[in-house]
Structure 1
Amino acid sequence: MEFLLLLSFLLVLVALFNIFLKKQKPRPATGKHPSDEQVQPLPPGRTGLPLIGENLDYFSKLDNGVLWTFVAERMKKYSTKVFRTSLMGQPTAILCGPEGNRFLFSNEDKLVQFWLPSCFDKIFPKVDNTALGVASPNSEQAKLIRKHLHAVLKLENLIHYIGMIDTVMKQQLHTEWNREKIKVVPAVTKFTLTLACRFLLGIEDPKKVEELAIPITDVEKGIMSIPINLPGTTFYRSIKASKVMRDEIQLIVRQAKIDLHEKRESERESLLAHMLLTTDENGQFFNELYITNHVYGMLAAGYGSITSSLTFIMKYLSELPDVYDEVLKGKASNLNSVLGRCK
């Protein structure tokens, strides 16, 4: 319970700020200190060993399932608001607590910009919607993704998604959960991937979902691994899995494009269908590679976080039967009435 309580209170977001990268200017020969406007002090903390940084401690705690201690120890030692470190070869500032949360979300594109370590470009390559396929900044890609998702996640579509989730859940309960002992992580993983494939790609074929299950697992492991691109490493396998996934998704995109052209595609409100039918600000349809990379990014990014959330919910409900009984008692009737309206 302490783990969830701390996670709910802390915002642990790795962000690279140009303001933190500026070195302090030396004092002038007169002995006078520069004005406060010229000095950009770094937050307290340490960057660890050269090149390695604090990766060893970070990934060790991550593998042992106690990543929160990495933050808690440094909050106690340096600051409860912000501290610096070095992760994945990059100088990093970690903002903590509700104040850090408020600062980040109220200063997007002002004092804060969306950023990912350069090593992520090997797993999630950037592609623009141009004939030359020129890469665009991550910040621009994030804006475009949100724009498309907003169109798909319209209020009138949400009821349809609830019905779809209910259908998939009943199928999974019958095929994957109908046994005496259940391994929650694999079962929830399959449920999450099935939903993601149906929502993002419009795929209902279980075989296609199975084909994507193996590479997406390697991609997820590589996201939170030491970025060493050598044969045998987790990061290397993740890059190869990324290529496999993007090739598979591109084939799906190509077939969906043909089906839409031949009027064989049903009007499903998937992200893929929406991107195939809409144009950019110049009135051009999105090319296959652009759509492939964006859908792949959404599939990989949403897969692990949703799986983890569902797994933790089930874990704590099983450990707190009183809470489980109250949830089941209070929500069952309301849920049935909602699902009744969705059919």
Structure 2
Amino acid sequence: MLTLTYIYQHVSAPLSHTTSFNICRVHTKILTMELFFLSLSVLLIVVSLALSFYAYRSSKVGGATKLPPGSLGWPIIGETLEFVFGKPEKFVGDRMKKYSSDIFKTKIFGEPTAVICGPAGNKFLFSNEQKLVVAWRPHPMQRLFRSYQQQASAPVAVPPKRGEETKVLRSPGFLKPEALVRYLGKMDSISQHHLQTYWEGRDEVKVFPLAKTFTLTLASRFFLGIEDPERVAKLVSKFDDMTLGMHSIILNFPGTQFYRGSKAAIEVRKELQLVIKEKKTAMATGAQMQDILSHMIVATEPTGRLMPEAEIADKIMGLLVAGYSAVATAITFFIKYVGERPDIYEKILSEQKEIYLSKKAGDALEWDDIQNMKYSWNVVLEAMRLTPPLQGTFREAITDFTYAGYTIPKGWKVYWTVSSTNKNPEYFPEPEKFDPTRYDEGTGFPIPYTLVPFGGGPRMCPGKEYARLAVLTFIHNVVKRYKWEVVFPEEKIIGDMMPTPAKGLPIRLHQH
């Protein structure tokens, strides 16, 4: 009312040039203020409605069921920032202490999520794959590795069934021990060639980048069947960007991890589609192929549908990332921990020396040799316990189910993590101590389902044996050639979801 009176009085009076100018200024200021307060009011109303809707949804979901204790955090983003940018063991440990050591709820990547903890939780999840839960990939991962679904001009008549993707690996038995045995000799020769090319004649090397080159070369040979593995290995930096993008927030503009991951995925996908075309041409001539890519090209679904090239490229790209990243991390931290413990190195050397002295010059490693690397593998297990290559994986509830007295509704995501057991003193006394003897026969350790870097139960990671052979083959060849020491024992480890030595883990080499 005062505002309208003020304007009326000035409009009613005789106007001079100055007065007219002042009125315009006052009118403009008033309109600006009114627009500001109107915008602020609208914003407050929108925020209030959003919060009310969020609270309403939460109450509807939990109204008739007893949901796990915990917090869904902020609207939309939930607790994603704490999960992605905080330390995984702290994120999980703090909530286990606050809510429950068995289960708690949170919201990650926009999805209500139940985190099931401890060895009993691990056993429950692994035993109920395809019954209560199925694999689920976070949205950043879906965007990077499922371009074929986004680009499809028309929907597929019969969408792939849940779990269909893993059948690609399991059905031909490529990753079963009996199949991997045939590839062991090639793994051995690739390991030797790698050390001759990148390590020999050097006083110092950076382990992490070289480990990634080695494991990507192996994966390229095994999954793609290409005889020039360096062709894909040259794209290591692109695979690094994709790996970081998988565990980022979807912010697709220059400078963000997801943007870099998306650009890298495009470049890698182009190279893989070229490899696919070359593979098809070679197969058309009748050439015999024994690799996963060849199987994908000819494999049909129950409907008789062949897999399109774009889909093959995306799935192979996912396999390559999984086949190189985690294995490279395991090798790197094995080198780190052993380089800091000469006593452990000597035990590994003794075990490996017994193997290579029993063989003739030029003989490749065999399956029995791998089985005799028990202590070496225990050291790898301890390295993975202290610095897990993989923090955890997501699943999706395909029906309502109850665990520890709480209901997980259908559609909720379920997160399995190593962080609830790996450094728990209840399962691993002196958890920060590097002690491979924990796993000696007769000790009773590890307690079942407490150390599960590859998952467990009937759905154990199909790549476990591949990873074990790749790591042990490398260990055999590097130990029989070199002793080493870590240049920076206090080197910082960056990246919580994907642990990375800040300087690449430089080591000094001493050749035998």
Q: Using structure 1 for the length normalisation, give the TM-score.
A: 0.78
Are the aligned partners of 2:297 and 2:307 in contact in 1 as well (CA < 8 Å)?
Answer: yes
**Alignment counterpart, residue 238 of structure 2, candidates 215, 221, 226:** 215
**Alignment counterpart, residue 153 of structure 1, candidates 175, 195, 202:** 175
- What secondary structure is seen at the aligned counterpart in 2 of 1:84? strand
Deviates more, 1:291-300 or 1:253-262: 291-300
Structure 1 position 104, deviation (Å) = 0.9
Distance change (3 Å), C-alpha of 1:332 and 1:44:
farther
Instruction: State the partner residue of 2:77.
Output: 52
Instruction: State the partner residue of 2:253.
Output: 230
Structure with more of its chain in helix, by fraction: 1
Are the aligned partners of 1:197 and 1:299 in contact in 2 as well (CA < 8 Å)?
Answer: yes
If asked which structure has higher relative contact order (CA below 8 Å, sep 6+), I would say 2
Structure 1 position 24, deviation (Å) = 2.4
Instruction: State the partner residue of 1:164.
Output: 186
Q: Does the alignment pair 1:248 with 2:271? A: yes
**Alignment counterpart, residue 314 of structure 2, candidates 277, 293, 309:** 293
Q: Does the alignment pair 1:276 with 2:297? A: yes
**Alignment counterpart, residue 224 of structure 2, candidates 195, 201, 217:** 201
Q: Does the alignment pair 1:191 with 2:214? A: yes
Q: Deviation string for 1:54-111 (max 9, x for gaps)?
A: 23322333xxxx4322212222222212112222222222222211111111111222
Instruction: State the partner residue of 1:5.
Output: none
CA distance in 1, matches of 2:59, 2:223: 38
Structure 1 position 340, deviation (Å) = 5.2
Q: Using structure 2 for the length normalisation, give the TM-score.
A: 0.54
Distance change (3 Å), C-alpha of 1:144 and 1:177:
same
CA distance in 1, matches of 2:227, 2:209: 19
Are the aligned partners of 1:22 and 1:40 in contact in 2 as well (CA < 8 Å)?
Answer: no
Instruction: State the partner residue of 1:261.
Output: 284
Q: What are the within-5 Å matches in structure 2 for residues 76-225 of structure 1?
A: 76-125=97-146, 127=148, 134=156, 136=159, 139-148=162-171, 150-178=172-200, 179-225=202-248
Structure with more of its chain in strand, by fraction: 2
Q: In structure 2, what residue type is equivalent to 1:24?
A: G
Structure 1 position 290, deviation (Å) = 2.8
- What secondary structure is seen at the aligned counterpart in 1 of 2:162? helix
CA distance in 2, matches of 1:301, 1:327: 27
- What secondary structure is seen at the aligned counterpart in 2 of 1:92? strand
Instruction: State the partner residue of 2:347.
Output: 326
Structure of higher CA gyration radius:
2
CA distance in 2, matches of 1:153, 1:113: 21
Instruction: State the partner residue of 1:36.
Output: none
Distance change (3 Å), C-alpha of 1:206 and 1:119:
closer
- What secondary structure is seen at the aligned counterpart in 2 of 1:45? coil
Q: Deviation string for 1:103-133 (max 9, x for gaps)?
A: 11111122212212233221111658x9957
CA distance in 2, matches of 1:86, 1:153: 34
Are the aligned partners of 1:115 and 1:139 in contact in 2 as well (CA < 8 Å)?
Answer: no
CA distance in 2, matches of 1:285, 1:117: 26
Structure 1 position 155, deviation (Å) = 4.0
Deviates more, 1:100-109 or 1:311-320: 311-320
Q: Deviation string for 1:270-296 (max 9, x for gaps)?
A: 111222344433455433223222211
Instruction: State the partner residue of 2:62.
Output: 24
Structure 1 position 49, deviation (Å) = 2.4
Structure 1 position 269, deviation (Å) = 2.2
Where in structure 2 are there 5+ consecutive unaligned residues? 1-57, 368-512
Distance change (3 Å), C-alpha of 1:340 and 1:93:
closer
Identity of aligned residues (%): 37
Are the aligned partners of 1:185 and 1:311 in contact in 2 as well (CA < 8 Å)?
Answer: yes
Q: Deviation string for 1:120-150 (max 9, x for gaps)?
A: 221111658x9957394683343333334x4
Q: In structure 1, what residue type is equivalent to 2:284?
A: H
Q: In structure 1, what residue type is equivalent to 2:333?
A: F
**Alignment counterpart, residue 313 of structure 1, candidates 334, 337, 355:** 334
Structure 1 position 303, deviation (Å) = 2.3
**Alignment counterpart, residue 68 of structure 1, candidates 72, 89, 93:** 89
CA distance in 2, matches of 1:107, 1:287: 31
